Amino acid sequence: MKKEVAKIVHVKENNMCAEYDFTGGVRGKHYRAMQDGYAIIIHKENGTTVTKDVMPKENVVVIEPDIRAYFPDSESVNRALRCLIPLLLKKA
C-alpha cells in the first residue's frame, strides 16, 4: 500500500500556507529585548553547548516599521536627513 503524500495548499495572495495560524500573535513582541542584546545557545552533537552573546552593532539606527514604509533603503533615509540638517543648523 502506497503512503499518501500530504499536499501543502498555499494561499494565493501571499504564499502563506493555509495551516499557519497567527491569531493571538503579537507583532514585534521581542523587538525591545533584541535591542538590549541576546544569547544564542548552540547544542552540539557531542553534548556540549556553546553560548554566543549577540549585541546590535555600534552606530546602527533602527527605523520603526511605520516609517520604514516611506524609506525603503539607506539612500532614501540619508536624502531625507540631509534636507533636515539645514533646518537644524538654523535653530542653533
Residue 23 lies in a domain: no
Residue 67 lies in a domain: yes
pLDDT tens string 17-67: 888 888 888 888 877 777 788 889 999 999 999 999 988 778 878 788 888
Residue 11 lies in a domain: no
Q: Residue 4 pLDDT more than 60?
A: no
Residue 3 lies in a domain: no
Residue 19 lies in a domain: no
Residue 9 lies in a domain: no
Q: How far apart are CA 63 and CA 8, in angstroms?
A: 35
Chain centre to alpha carbon of residue 67: 14
Q: How far apart are CA 88 and CA 92, in angstroms?
A: 7
State the pTM of this model. Answer: 0.40
Q: How many domains does the chain have?
A: 1
Which domain covers residue 76, as residue numbers? 31-91
Residue 24 lies in a domain: no
- Return all residues near 80 (Cβ < 8 A) that are at least 6 apart: 71
How would you label 10-38 residue by residue, b for 16+ Cβ within 10 Å and e otherwise?
A: eeeeeeeeeeeeeeeeeeeeeeeeeeeee
